Structure 1
Amino acid sequence: MLPRVAEAARGTRENGGMSDEAIRQVLGLLYQDDTLRVLSALALERAPEESGLERDAMLLALDRLKRGGLAVHDHEGVWRLRRERFRELLHAAAPPPEPVSPEEKVLRAFLVEGRLRAIPSKRDKQLVVLNYVAQVFEPGVRYSEKDVNVVLRAFHDDHAALRRYLVDEGLLTRENNVYWRSGGTVDVAGA
């Protein structure tokens, strides 16, 4: 066997993931009738002889499955499927997770389809959520209490508590039942 193919068959990792060659090799093994038949017997916890192949073809298929990391001959002399190989392939093929900011983690934890599951009780998390909610209000625009309630009800049923938190944290200012945004971050790129 060529050194490069042998290395791929062992499932070596390159750049933090399984090599493309190892993935192609395993997929190729699944495509071949003889190896698929032997693999199926092993998956059903049957002896490879039950694959219906002649002995030489079965032994050749077992050898290819072993080199591909899909079968193992255990210490008792029994062939078994190495199911964990499929998990290795899945992890190798998955794209690396995108870095997520601490604020994004909080928002993902508390927002489901744009609505708050709950208003966070911890102040640092509450500030992240309130800042997110405050983004809906345009700086410099005056809102009636009724309009504020309609907007906040879209986020959470307890719109009064949400409104109170926004005012208490200085994200909204209230005077004579008129509200305006007075704090929070401003998206200058989108402006």
Structure 2
Amino acid sequence: MDAATIVGLLADPVRLKVVAALALGAGTIEEVAQASGMGLKDVALAARRLARAGLVHRDGHVLALHTDRFGAAARAAAEAAPAPEPLSDDPAQDAVLSAFVRDGRLVSVPAQRSKRLVVLDHLVRVFEPGVRYPEREVNALLAVWHPDVAALRRYLVDEGLLSRDAGVYWRSGGHVEV
């Protein structure tokens, strides 16, 4: 069973509740109905559909969730997924960026200065050289990356990647593509 099929099955709120109740320990149609607050008929119909798809083993009123199928589908989807595009042409920088940037968001600010500089140099590229930005716009651009915009702003200024005067910022460092 593939991940898309599982997601499609769980997109139905009734089937999702049945799977949740089974995952939490319910073992019969009656227990699932009680745990989910749904009627026996709805639970039975959802259980039948989940059993036909191979996610649930059904023996009369006794139900068992095939939890191993979720992991197997997730592993297969991960193996089939294309490799992510590198964030840098430099393999060392790409390794640092891959550790701290997920889906275009900074998951955490590196504590080690050398790694933080790699991340900040990547981040500062959202600012055009020669353009002046009010603090509100700097905050908006940085918020796309991470919720702690004040820390990011401070790091960028402290490392000389952005300069500031009277609440106006401009790019003053970092790698520039030509």
TM-score, normalised on structure 2?
Answer: 0.50
Whose Rg is larger?
1
TM-score, normalised on structure 1?
Answer: 0.46
